[in-house]
Amino acid sequence: MLSPRALILRAPGTNCDHETAFAFERAGAISRRVHIQALAERPALLDEYQIFCIPGGFSYGDDIASGRILALQLRTFLSDALERFRDRGGLILGICNGFQVLLQTSLLLHEPTIGPQATLAANTSGRFIDRWVHLETRPSRCVFLDGLGKLELPVAHAEGRFRSRSPETLTALEASGQLVLRYGLNPDGSSGNPNGSEADVAGVCDETGRVLGLMPHPERFLDALQHPALAGSTEARGRNGVGLALFTNAVRAVS
């Protein structure tokens, strides 16, 4: 059986593409980093892949707003190809900057007659945050989060505050099981929400569970030794970090 193939999109300013490609390879896929211009020139390249991922970073320097220029390119040159990819059952993952991009396209939380149903605004602190956070998954059809419960992952962003179009939109997303990943409590019982997101939302999926956007970086926790509490620990050597499970779930879902 041939290994699933994952396309990792890159653009000027993207800085997590190598780590994300490595994560998919660790999970058993064949990954390839493809520049946005190359994909725009040949959209049919998507037909060769089962997973499409927009990794983290600062695409185009986050000029105007985070992910805005890359999202515009996807809408202009690749909208039809990406919708066909999604509709044939391909998996789509957006991490951090990739999540910001997905919400500005028709691929995630988008109503045809209304537009985007949510956005990611500036952190309430007004500062860039870079730390580990406690997370909780919610029961859903999201294939990426299958079998995961409470976990820790690092975040690194300035615009990660989830905001829905309206209270009614948030209620509808909750009812449909699309608010799949939340910031949990810190060990001392205080809120672990680092950016002020509504309902502590850290990640959302589409109605099929095959398109996921999340602010935390699973590709930065593939090995247990990458956790700050375990760095240098002999017990952690050879153990996987929980982030790897997300990529393993994706590869398994298309195998």
Tell me if 3 sits within 8 A of 30, measured CB to CB. Answer: yes
Number of structural domains in the chain:
1
Please report, for the domain that includes residue 145, its CATH number. 3.40.50.880
Q: Residues with Cβ < 8 Å from 20, sequence gap 6 or more?
A: 8, 31, 53, 55, 56, 95, 219
Amino acid identity, residue 107?
A: L
Residue of 250, 55, 232, 43 whose CA lies nearest to 156: 55
Average pLDDT of the segment spanning 218-225? 97
CA 195 to chain centre: 16
Average pLDDT of the segment spanning 189-203? 97
Query: Residue 232: is its pLDDT beyond 90?
Result: no
Compute CA distances 73 → 23, 68, 169, 238, whole Å: 26, 9, 27, 41
- Averaged confidence pLDDT in the chain: 96
- pTM score: 0.97
The predicted-structure confidence for 6-27, as pLDDT tens digits, reads as follows: 999 999 999 999 999 999 999 9
Question: Which structural domain range is residue 103 located in?
Answer: 5-253
For the annotated catalytic residues, the residue numbers are 96, 217, 219
So what's the pLDDT on residue 77? Answer: 97
Query: Residue 145: is its pLDDT beyond 90?
Result: yes
